[in-house]
Amino acid sequence: MVIKADTRIKQLRQARGITQTELAHIMSVTRSSVNAWEMGISVPTAPKLVELSMFFDVSTDYILGLEKAEIIQIDDLSDEQKKIIYSLLSYFHKENAENGSE
């Protein structure tokens, strides 16, 4: 099994619209540490991996590439907000199926 932490960390960071420097500040590490994670030169320590998963709201298994699906927390959303999320997901899955992306 291939660990995909480098790719996942970069994707999650970019999806949040933050720089390596900003992520480094949030994680209390150097920018070069974040760069090394994203280049596959090193892997975050277990405590930093947990911090990353909490910051990005994903599981540690997702970051490591052990889990295929990305999981987001919606527990604190109202029923109406959850309905909107589910509607959007349904729409995107339908679009992907029609375009052959799944």
Domains of the chain in sequence order:
5-64 (1.10.260.40), 72-102 (no CATH)
In this structure, are residues 97 and 89 in contact, taking their beta carbons and an 8 Å threshold?
no
Position 69, amino acid: A
Q: What is residue 93's predicted lDDT score, i.e. its pLDDT?
A: 81
CA neighbours closer than 13 Å in the CB half-sphere of residue 58: 22
Radius of gyration of the chain (CA): 16
What's at 17, amino acid-wise? G
From residue 22, alpha-carbon distances to 16, 18, 28, 48 in Å are 11, 6, 10, 15
Is the model's pTM score more than 0.75? no
Residue 95: predicted pLDDT: 80
| Cα separation, 55 vs 88, whole angstroms | 23
* Each residue's pLDDT expressed in tens, for the chain with a length of 102 residues: 455 899 999 999 999 999 999 999 999 999 999 999 999 999 999 999 999 999 998 889 989 888 776 677 788 889 999 899 889 988 888 887 877 755
HSE value, Cβ hemisphere, 13 Å, CA-based, for 46: 0
Residue 45 is encoded by which pair of tokens? 């320590």
Provide the pLDDT for residue 73: 77
